[in-house]
Amino acid sequence: GNSVTQMEGPVTLSEEAFLTINCTYTATGYPSLFWYVQYPGEGLQLLLKATKADDKGSNKGFEATYRKETTSFHLEKGSVQVSDSAVYFCAGGSQGNLIFGKGTKLSVKP
């Protein structure tokens, strides 16, 4: 069946460090891929998405590219800020519901 696997956390970085959170998916066909973010005390919100191979989603300095050949959608940011501290969820979907990874908690220290 379909599945999404993302790197386990927690991840702790210093401010201005480079961030990568790996995500790979297994699916029939080519799903749309998403990164959702959950800030402390808040609900999940969409960070970025890509709907087909080679698409790049970007928002708030974060980027992820839909790589069909490696079935990956890794999240990257060149310079993280304390305000980026949150839990990040990779998700994929085609028909029906979204399949979510287990989440990666990111803590950014000043």
Partner 1 sequence: GAGVSQSPSNKVTEKGKDVELRCDPISGHTALYWYRQSLGQGLEFLIYFQGNSAPDKSGLPSDRFSAERTGGSVSTLTIQRTQQEDSAVYLCASSPLAGGRNEQFFGPGTRLTVL
102 interacts with partner 1 by CB under 8 A: yes
Q: Does 89 bind partner 1 (CB under 8 A)?
A: yes
Binding to partner 1 by CB under 8 A, coded x per residue (else -) over 38-67, reads: ----xxxxx--x-x----------------
CA dihedral 45, 50, 56, 58 (to 10 degrees): -10
CA distances from 105 to 16, 97, 109 (A): 17, 23, 13
Structure tokens at 80: 């993280």
Residue 110: CB minimum distance to partner 1, A? 26
Minimum Å gap between C-beta 93 and partner 1 is 2
| CB 46 within 8 Å of CB 60 | no
Contacts with partner 1 by CB under 8 A lie at 31-32, 34, 36, 42-46, 49, 51, 89, 91-103
